[in-house]
Chain A
Amino acid sequence: MEIKETFGLMARHTDDVIVVCALGMSANEWWQVTGSEDTFYMHGAMGFASSFALGLAVAMPDKQVWIIDGDGSLCMNLGTLLTASGQGPANLKHFVLNNGVYQTVGGVPMTGASRSSYTAIAAGAGVERCYTADSMNALSAVLADIKKPGHCFIDLQVERDDGPILAPPQPFEGPEMKYRFGRAMERRFGIEVFGPEGY
């Protein structure tokens, strides 16, 4: 699948969804395709956007939370699958953008990529439902199915690129990201993230 087309389709299913993107290709491409200011684009802590999303999902069990992970990020924190399955969050949907390379550093191949299966790893970790999406038709079916409650893992098989990714990063950084996302959460869901004095 081509990544922009993939994200274009996914974005049409995010009306009431909280989206968290791992740093790098996931965040940069999601920003380029959607321009979403309701998304949390993690700027650091590679590997741990999925754990961040789990915290959101456990704290807001009535809202669907998507983590759009990178394959490099997932491999940096495979334990996240065990931790999440231990919670069994019916509202957490874990996508991994799987192109087999560290894209933003020049398309460097990932170790073990040709000999491993992320869906098998996720299933082995106890994730309730695991999918592989290798075509737009398959992705459409997955997006319909994951609306049903249940902890889900989705391997998005996207095309690799031999060069560095050209999508620009979103034009705001740490503190602005915090306040944009927090204010969006307050606006969308009627919750209070920041106190009356703004912190």
Chain B
Amino acid sequence: MSNPTVHDQLVAALKRCDVGLAASLPDDWITPTLQRLDREPGIAHIRVAREAEAVAAASGAFFAGARSVAVMGATGLFTCLGELATLNLRHQIPLFMLVSERGSRDDHRIYQEVQGRRIKPVLESLDFPYFRITSTADIEELPHAYEWCRMQKRPVIGFLARKLLKG
């Protein structure tokens, strides 16, 4: 049996978080994770047309007693800041998000640069906690982060590093 990939490990960690619903819009770094999610029988996967839909769908699932996650790229996160503020912050709805850390120092795509430079200061201004996921050890810690998110009662963002996803 082959060794689990980082995408296998991420999905396994979400299972340990008791996540039963994922909502996503692809970014090329996380596409293999989303394809892996599609094959996971215990997790309903909603593929959305715009990232803010993922925010709202995962938030709705919260009220069904389901644990959920929204998955997207940093550019997509930038597009749904208004919804995160007026849905999750206003109603104190926890939302666990896994976001590819586009625009990082090792992401040499000019069209990602502004998002990478500005997204974290913007999250700080909204008082949305975030952390980086750079290693297998960090993936193992995701259940703690998930519980922490529930207690925070607001969006908590785990940034998936390029090194982790792309090697």
Contacts and interface: CB of A to CB of B under 8 A. Distances in A.
Interface of A: 20, 40, 42-45, 47-60, 77, 79-80, 82-83, 86-87, 173-175, 177-178, 181-182, 185-186, 191-193, 195, 199
How many B residues touch the partner, as a band?
Answer: 35 or more
A44 B83 contact: yes
A182 B63 CA distance: 6
B64 A175 contact: no
8 contacts: A44-B85, A45-B83, A48-B55, A48-B83, A50-B56, A59-B44, A59-B65, A185-B63
Contacts of A181: 63
A79 B83 contact: no
A55 B83 contact: no
A58 B66 CA distance: 10
B49 interface: yes
Minimum-distance CB pairs A-B, first 5? A44-B86, A55-B60, A79-B49, A55-B57, A59-B64
B139 to A, nearest CB: 24
Contact of B53 (A56, A59, A77, A186): A77
Contacts of A177: 91
Contacts of A186: 65
A104 to B, nearest CB: 15
Contacts of B150: 195, 199
Given A45-B83, A51-B53, A185-B65, A56 B48 contact: no
Contacts of B58: 55
A79 B54 CA distance: 12
B46 A58 contact: yes
A52 to B, nearest CB: 4
Given A44-B83, A44-B85, A48-B55, A59 B49 contact: no
